[in-house]
Amino acid sequence: MKFLITGGSGFIGSNYLHYVVNKYPNDEFICLDALTYAGNYNNIKDLEKYNNYKFIKMDIRDRESLNDLFRTEKFDIVINFAAESHVDRSIVNPNIFVETNVIGTVNLLNAFKMLRDEFGHKIIRYHQISTDEVYGDLPLDKTDLLFTENSYLCPSSPYSSSKASADLFVLAYARTFNMPVTISRCSNNYGPYQFPEALIPLMITKALRNEKLPVYGNGLNVRDWIHVHDHNVGVDLIVRKGKNGEIYNLGGHSEKNNLFVVKTILKELSKSEDLITFVEDRKGHDLRYAMDTSKIEKELGWTRSYTFEKGIKETINWYVNNQDWLNDILSGKYKNSYNEH
């Protein structure tokens, strides 16, 4: 089968490619990425050695180029990881979130539909990588409340609104055009290759440099942390065994508040908690996310292999041992890692 993996040089997409390219030698994986500030070719450079893998630099906002690519490549499966992914950036500049996350998704759906309708190609699956943030947030004091796939959409930020909008287009294409789609909604990921603007790699980076660690508000907002590998195992299961038209929640069952996460990082790195500095809260900051993942566990047999305690130790060690990777980002050098020829 021929896969198109968009956003494959970002954090989750690159981990997905490392998981599948070697595991499925009979499948072909084409990674499409615009290499925005968050796309780092260093994350996937080592995959060049595989014969069942290829990289294409392209922007999912560019409809014409996408259509040309689909005319020549005849994909069987599309997995859309590509997105503007950082909530804080969406508060500063919402428009690009609409362009990439909503219009880019519709461009991909149209190109895939064209492959079926104009070329008679038997398309197998369009999978949309979505987020728990489409459900909005939960109160801090009602810990028994969890998001299920039937929870209503109530996004708070421009980022989550754009992801929820994209999900609605994906479902509309299933109903209106009978497209074979699935959606996964996952909680906060951590692990290797994450751009150091997200909480965990940002705090590790700052702690390693003895810089102040900025914590929003009182630090008590809760996230359900999942190791990126467990997320990608779920995506792989859905893509291969999931039911068309279905949504699947994924989460770590590992609710921690931000302050706990930051203190854990400082402890692991033997740094003082005096480095913590509380800063003005994020606008519209979601209080708590928590996922009911029983559907994918029962229907597809998904399980997690990481506890937070194991995953965070391994992740901190990865950043400590890959400071060249980190330094390339901080100095801007990572932008030169992709050579067109």
Ligand X SMILES: NC(=O)c1ccc[n+]([C@@H]2O[C@H](COP(=O)([O-])OP(=O)(O)OC[C@H]3O[C@@H](n4cnc5c(N)ncnc54)[C@H](O)[C@@H]3O)[C@@H](O)[C@H]2O)c1
Binding residues for ligand X (CB under 6 A): 6-7, 9-13, 33-36, 38-39, 59-61, 81-85, 100, 104, 129, 131, 163, 186, 188-189, 195
Beta bridge partners of 184: 129, 248
Q: Quick check: helix, strand or coil at residue 152?
A: coil
| 263 contact partners, CB below 8 Å, separation of at least 6 | 273, 276
If you search the block for the tokens 């692990």, which residue do you land on?
A: 191
Complex with ligand X: residue 257 or 275, whichever CB lies closer? 257
CA pair distance 72, 54, nearest whole angstrom: 14
- Helix-strand-coil percent breakdown of the chain, rounded to 5? 45, 20, 35
Complex with ligand X: residue 149 or 271, whichever CB lies closer? 149
Sign of CA pseudo-dihedral 321, 324, 328, 331 = positive
Q: Report, in Å, the least distance between residue 57 CB and ligand X.
A: 9
CA pair distance 32, 58, nearest whole angstrom: 6
Q: Report, in Å, the least distance between residue 69 CB and ligand X.
A: 12
User: Residue 118 CB: number of other CB atoms within 10 A?
Assistant: 11
List active site positions.
Answer: 132-133, 159
Complex with ligand X: residue 33 or 286, whichever CB lies closer? 33
Q: Report, in Å, the least distance between residue 70 CB and ligand X.
A: 14
Let me know: does 182 contact 130? Beta carbons within 8 Å.
no
If you search the block for the tokens 């996952």, which residue do you land on?
A: 186
CA pair distance 126, 129, nearest whole angstrom: 10
Beta bridge partners of 127: 79, 182
Which residue of the chain is nearest ligand X when measured via CB?
10
Complex with ligand X: residue 33 or 76, whichever CB lies closer? 33
Complex with ligand X: residue 84 or 137, whichever CB lies closer? 84
Let me know: does 63 contact 99? Beta carbons within 8 Å.
no
Q: Report, in Å, the least distance between residue 88 CB and ligand X.
A: 12
CA pair distance 171, 177, nearest whole angstrom: 10
Q: Report, in Å, the least distance between residue 105 CB and ligand X.
A: 9
CA pair distance 289, 187, nearest whole angstrom: 7
Q: Report, in Å, the least distance between residue 13 CB and ligand X.
A: 6
